[in-house]
C-alpha cells in the first residue's frame, strides 16, 4: 500500500482499530507467527481503510442507481439491485472476517509447512554441525536454503536478530520460539537453547532430533497409507459400485415404464450432480490426509 495512504489510515482509523483489538490482546504475536511485518493496530487500520473504500463505492453506486431510477433514465431491475446489495455486504463481511482471522489461518499454514520440512532441515543442521560449524553460522546457512521454505524464513529472522539487532543467539532463539507458528518447531528451538546453555554438544542434540523427526515422519507415512487404503475401499463402494447399482435400478424402472419420468430425472441428478460431488469430496479427503513431500 502507498505509504501516504497507510499513514492516513493509521492516523484516522487507528483509535477504532485499537478498540477492535481490545478483545484480541495476542494479535501482535499472531502477526509475527504469520510473518506479517506490521503492528496490530497498523494492520487493522489499513484493512479498515479497504472496508471504508468498499462502503463508499457501494453507497455511491446506490446513489447513482437511485438518481437514474428517479430521472427515469435507467430503471434498475430489482434482482440486479438485490444482487448488488448482497455482493457488497458479502465482500464487506469477507474482508472484515479475513482482517481478524486471516493471520491465524496464515500462521497455521506456515506451521504445517514448517512441520513438513523440519525433519530435513534438522538433518541439514546436524550434517553441518559435524564440521564444527558454530551455532550462529548454522542458522545463517540454513537461512540461505530456500528449499526449506518457512523454516528458512524463520532462520533468516533469527540471523537478523543476531546480526542486525545485536541480540545474542540464546535471546534470538528464545524470541523465535515465542513467535514460532509450529509447536514442534518451538520445542526444537527450546531444546537447542537448553543444549547451548548447558554447554553440551549441539551436534548430539541435532542428531537425536533428526532421527526422532524422521521416525515420526515414517510413522505419519504409514498412517497415511492406512487411511488411503480405507478411502480407496470407500471410494469403490460409494463412487463406483453405488452409482452403477442405482443406474441399473433406474434402468429397470424405465423398462417397466413405472413412475413416469422420475427415474430419468433421478439419473440426471445422479450423473450431473451427485457423482461429481462425491468425487470432489474424495479428492478433498485425500488432500487433507496427505502429508506433504
Q: Tens digits of per-residue pLDDT, 32-86?
A: 999 998 999 999 999 899 888 888 888 888 787 777 777 766 666 766 667 777 8
Query: Is residue 284 a contact partner of residue 218, using CB atoms and an 8 Å limit?
Result: no
Cα–Cα separations (whole angstroms), residue 8 to 12, 15, 42, 120: 6, 12, 11, 45
Q: Tens digits of per-residue pLDDT, 127-171?
A: 888 887 888 889 999 999 999 999 999 999 999 999 998 899 999
Q: What gap in Å lies between CA 286 and CA 240, rounded to an integer?
A: 17
Domain edges within the chain: 3-110, 113-214, 215-289
Which residues, in sequence order, are CB contacts of 188 under 8 Å at separation 6+?
Answer: 118, 122, 209
Residue 109's nearest CA partner among 30, 215, 190, 46 is: 30
Q: Rounded to the nearest 5 degrees, what angle is found at the Cα of 218, between the Cα atoms of 217 and 223?
A: 95
Cα–Cα separations (whole angstroms), residue 105 to 26, 97, 98: 15, 11, 9
- pTM higher than 0.85, yes or no? no
Q: What was the pLDDT predicted at 251?
A: 79
What are phi and psi for residue 74, nearest 5 degrees? -150, 120
Burial class (CB in 10 A: 0-12, 13-18, 19+), 67: exposed
User: What's the average model confidence in pLDDT over 251-278?
Assistant: 76
Going by pLDDT thresholds of 50, 70 and 90, the confidence category of residue 258 is low
CA atoms within 13 A on the CB side of 235: 16
Residue 181 has pLDDT above 70, yes or no: yes
Query: What count of other Cβ atoms lies within 10 Å of the Cβ of residue 194?
Result: 12
Cα–Cα separations (whole angstroms), residue 60 to 3, 64, 94, 98: 26, 6, 20, 24
User: What does the block give as the cell for 6?
Assistant: 497507510
Residue 266 has pLDDT above 90, yes or no: no
User: What does the block give as the cell for 22?
Assistant: 481490545
Q: What was the pLDDT predicted at 271?
A: 80
Q: What gap in Å lies between CA 151 and CA 156, rounded to an integer?
A: 9
Residue 293 has pLDDT above 60, yes or no: no
User: What does the block give as the cell for 213?
Assistant: 523427526
Residue 174 has pLDDT above 60, yes or no: yes
Residue 122's nearest CA partner among 187, 198, 219 is: 187
Residue 180 has pLDDT above 90, yes or no: yes
Amino acid at each position: 500500500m502507498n505509504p501516504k495512504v497507510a499513514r492516513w489510515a493509521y492516523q484516522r482509523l487507528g483509535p477504532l482499530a485499537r478498540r477492535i483489538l481490545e478483545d484480541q490482546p495476542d494479535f501482535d504475536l499472531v502477526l509475527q507467527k504469520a510473518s506479517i511485518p506490521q503492528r496490530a493496530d497498523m494492520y487493522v487500520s489499513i484493512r479498515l481503510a479497504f472496508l471504508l473504500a468498499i462502503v463508499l463505492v457501494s453507497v455511491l453506486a446506490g446513489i447513482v442507481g437511485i438518481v437514474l431510477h428517479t430521472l427515469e433514465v435507467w430503471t434498475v431491475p430489482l434482482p440486479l439491485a438485490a444482487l448488488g446489495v448482497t455482493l457488497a455486504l458479502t465482500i464487506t463481511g469477507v474482508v472484515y472476517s479475513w482482517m481478524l482471522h486471516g493471520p491465524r489461518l496464515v500462521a497455521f499454514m506456515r506451521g504445517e509447512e514448517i512441520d513438513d520440512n523440519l525433519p530435513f532441515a534438522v538433518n541439514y543442521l546436524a550434517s553441518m554441525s559435524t564440521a564444527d560449524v558454530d551455532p550462529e553460522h548454522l542458522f545463517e546457512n540454513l537461512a540461505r536454503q530456500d528449499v526449506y521454505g518457512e523454516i528458512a524464513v524463520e532462520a533468516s529472522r533469527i540471523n537478523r536478530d543476531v546480526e542486525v539487532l545485536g541480540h545474542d543467539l540464546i535471546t534470538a532463539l528464545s524470541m523465535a520460539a515465542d513467535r514460532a507458528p509450529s509447536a514442534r518447531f518451538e520445542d526444537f528451538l527450546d531444546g537447542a537453547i537448553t543444549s547451548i546453555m548447558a554447554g553440551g554438544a549441539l551436534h548430539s542434540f541435532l542428531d537425536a532430533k533428526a532421527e526422532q523427526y524422521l521416525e515420526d515422519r515414517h510413522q505419519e507415512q504409514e498412517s497415511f497409507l492406512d487411511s488411503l487404503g480405507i478411502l480407496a475401499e470407500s471410494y469403490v463402494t460409494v463412487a463406483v459400485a453405488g452409482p452403477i447399482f442405482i443406474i441399473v435400478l433406474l434402468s429397470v424402472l424405465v423398462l417397466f415404464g413405472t413412475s413416469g419420468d422420475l427415474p430419468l430425472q433421478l439419473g440426471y441428478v445422479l450423473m450431473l450432480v451427485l457423482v461429481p460431488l462425491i468425487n470432489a469430496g474424495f479428492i478433498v479427503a485425500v488432500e487433507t490426509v496427505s502429508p506433504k513431500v
